[in-house]
């Protein structure tokens, strides 16, 4: 009997760097066979990519996490995963205050997301302290912007030796 792939919904908040990270995560998940949904009520897994840069962004991130947490009782959501800057800065505090959060990842743990989603018996909820990993390429990126535009994230540098 074929196992049904989990349906994943994602909310991306904050700056264009978060947009790029979210697009890379979505592309990686689609390439791995996960189904995507734009309707959080239908999602088995909801990922909230947070921003923690300024106070209003922190508030928006926490409010969004709480809104998505309601889908664990009012929707199909089985896993609520929080990623991004706010998760990195306040990971354990958020886990302590919002028990509906199943997993917490910082910006360096995105490549671990697939295995975290698939793990039925997780040994930890806070993955922020695990060693950082980086995607090697943008080949699996799923653009969420208009077809004629895309953000370029240069903050992590480039491993190509073209210059």
pLDDT at 1: 46
Higher pLDDT, 163 or 45: 45
Q: Which of 6, 73, 11, 61 is nearest to 40 (CA)?
A: 11
52 and 163 Cβ atoms separated by less than 8 Å: no
Sign of CA dihedral 100, 106, 109, 113: positive
Both tokens of 41, joined, read: 């009520």
**pLDDT confidence tier of residue 144, bands split at 50, 70 and 90:** confident
Stated pTM of the model: 0.85
86 and 55 Cβ atoms separated by less than 8 Å: no
Both tokens of 3, joined, read: 């196992």
Q: How many alpha carbons fall within 13 Å on the CB side of residue 64?
A: 24
Average pLDDT over residues 112-126: 85
**pLDDT confidence tier of residue 136, bands split at 50, 70 and 90:** low
């Amino acid at each position: 009997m074929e196992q049904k792939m989990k349906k994943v919904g994602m909310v991306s908040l904050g700056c264009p760097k978060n947009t790029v990270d979210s697009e890379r995560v979505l592309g990686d998940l689609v390439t791995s066979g996960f189904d995507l949904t734009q309707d959080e009520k239908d999602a088995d897994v909801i990922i909230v990519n947070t921003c923690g840069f300024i106070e209003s962004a922190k508030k928006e991130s926490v409010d969004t996490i709480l809104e998505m947490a309601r889908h664990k009782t009012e929707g199909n959501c089985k896993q609520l995963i929080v990623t991004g800057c706010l998760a990195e800065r306040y990971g354990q505090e958020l886990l302590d205050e919002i028990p509906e959060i199943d997993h917490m990842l910082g910006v360096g743990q995105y490549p671990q997301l697939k295995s975290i989603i698939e793990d039925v018996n997780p040994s930890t909820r806070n993955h922020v302290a695990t060693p950082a990993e980086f995607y090697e390429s943008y080949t699996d990126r799923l653009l969420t912007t208009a077809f004629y535009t895309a953000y370029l994230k240069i903050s992590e540098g480039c491993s190509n030796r073209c210059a």
